[in-house]
């Protein structure tokens, strides 16, 4: 996959593309990441990309010309791609969206700054708008980094063990179960005995029970959306009895 970033702070992505899972995927050429800086498409000495808003008011607005030139070069540099604008007004990004994007050959992520981008550029160049949550960031870069990370870890072969992504929260409409590693006893708390039993069937059953229980307690909305099989309903009832919670 190829991910292009339109950003006035390409250095913002240095650690994103060098470290951890994404860094490994970049080195293994499972994903290519390329930045395009709108400042490289300015003609003035100060490399100006913003100007005062028409109608007055605080802040600055990103101008159309440097952005459209950067987007045009990005578009021309490979397979056709949608331009996604990082925006608090966009559709909420979630695991389903990440899964969908991970199936695309290419995507261009447009990072705004200041008060945002001249609306005419959005109207003419942007195919979709994505928000990472109901709060306002000072730039689209952190949002693009979040989306990039969530997408790249889903690309085939990127995670060492394909099962890791499948077991993650939201993949099956549930939150993930709790995890434990050595030592067996920490601060007088033991690892649940079933995880040491070597019984794969029992371990799977325990994990599903914990995932159902956690989702019920922390995100009942997810469980309602997903539904449960009769066997899962029984497991959840067991979880609630074990943990002294009562089903509503
Ligand atoms: N005035 C804009 C508004 O209220 O809708 C906010 C502009 S914000 C200070 C600057 C840039 O940060 C935006 O153009 C956008 O690219 C990015 N941004 C801010 N919050 C975001 C969020 N929740 N999700 C995605 N991008 C965001």
Distance (Å, whole) CA 113 – CA 111: 7
pLDDT at 13 over 70: yes
Alpha helices in 19-161 (DSSP H): 20-27, 64-76, 95-101, 119-125, 141-152
Residues 61-79: what's their mean pLDDT? 98
Q: Which of 10, 53, 88, 178 is catalytic?
A: 88
- Secondary structure letter of residue 114 according to DSSP: T
How far is the C-alpha of 24 from the C-alpha of 160, rounded, in Å? 10
The yes-or-no verdict on residue 248 having pLDDT over 70 is: no
What is the 27 CA–ligand 1 centroid distance (Å)? 30
- Give catalytic status of residue 118 as yes or no: no
Candidate list 66, 75, 113, 153, residue with the active-site label: 153
Average pLDDT estimate for 207-233: 98
Q: 139 CA to middle of ligand 1, Å?
A: 6
Report the DSSP pairing between strands 50-51 and 61-62: antiparallel
Q: Which pLDDT score, from 0 to 100, does residue 131 have?
A: 98
Q: Does residue 247 have a pLDDT over 80? A: no
pLDDT digits (tens, 9 = 90+) for 14-35: 999 999 999 999 999 999 999 9
pLDDT band for position 161 (cuts 50, 70, 90): confident
61 confidence band (pLDDT: 50, 70, 90): very high
Contact 85, 79 (CB under 8 A): no
Enclosing H/E stretch for 233: helix 230-242
Query: What does the pLDDT read at residue 166?
Result: 81
pLDDT, residue 113, reads 98
Q: Is 238 a catalytic residue?
A: no
**Does 153 have pLDDT greater than 80?**
yes
For residues 34-48, one letter each, b for 16 or more C-beta atoms within 10 angstroms of the residue's C-beta and e for the rest, the string is ebbbbeebbeeeeee
Residue nearest to ligand 1 atom 23, measured at CA: 88
Q: What is the predicted pLDDT for the residue at 165? A: 82
**Full-model pTM:** 0.95
Active site residue 248: no
Proportion of the chain above pLDDT 70, given as a percent: 99
Tell me the domains of the chain and their CATH numbers: 2-162 (3.40.1280.10), 169-247 (1.10.1270.20)
User: Has 242 been annotated as catalytic?
Assistant: no
162 pLDDT more than 90? no
Which of 57, 59, 109, 112 for a ligand 1 pocket mutation test, highest count of atoms within 8 Å of Cβ? 112
The string of DSSP codes covering 158-220 is SSSSHHHHHHSTTTTSSPPPP---S-SEETTEEPPGGGGS--HHHHHHHHHHHHHHHHHHH-H
pLDDT of 48 > 90? The answer is yes
Q: What does pLDDT average to over the chain?
A: 96
Binding-site residues, ligand 1, Cβ < 6 A: 86-89, 111-113, 115-117, 131-133, 135-140, 143
């Amino acid at each position: 996959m190829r991910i292009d970033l339109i950003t006035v702070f390409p250095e913002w992505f240095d650690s994103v593309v060098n470290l951890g899972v994404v860094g490994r995927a970049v080195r293994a050429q499972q994903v290519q990441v390329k930045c395009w800086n709108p400042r490289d498409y300015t003609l003035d000495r100060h490399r100006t990309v913003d100007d005062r808003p028409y109608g007055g008011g605080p802040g600055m607005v990103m101008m159309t010309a440097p952005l459209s030139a950067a987007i045009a070069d990005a578009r021309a540099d490979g397979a056709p791609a949608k331009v996604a604008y990082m925006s608090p007004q966009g559709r909420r990004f979630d695991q389903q969206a990440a899964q969908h994007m991970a199936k695309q050959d290419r995507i261009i992520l447009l990072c705004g700054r200041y008060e945002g981008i001249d609306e005419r550029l959005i109207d003419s160049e942007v195919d979709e708008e994505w928000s990472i949550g109901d709060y306002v960031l000072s730039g689209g870069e952190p949002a693009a980094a979040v989306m990039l990370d969530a997408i790249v870890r889903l690309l085939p072969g990127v995670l060492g063990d394909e099962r890791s992504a499948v077991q993650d929260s939201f993949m099956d409409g549930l939150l993930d179960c709790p995890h434990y590693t050595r030592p067996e006893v920490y601060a007088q708390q033991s690892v649940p005995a079933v995880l040491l039993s070597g019984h794969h069937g029992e371990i799977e059953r325990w994990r599903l029970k914990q995932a159902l229980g956690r989702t019920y307690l922390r995100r009942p909305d997810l469980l309602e959306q997903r539904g449960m099989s009769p066997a899962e309903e029984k497991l959840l009832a067991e979880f609630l009895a074990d943990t002294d919670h009562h089903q509503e």
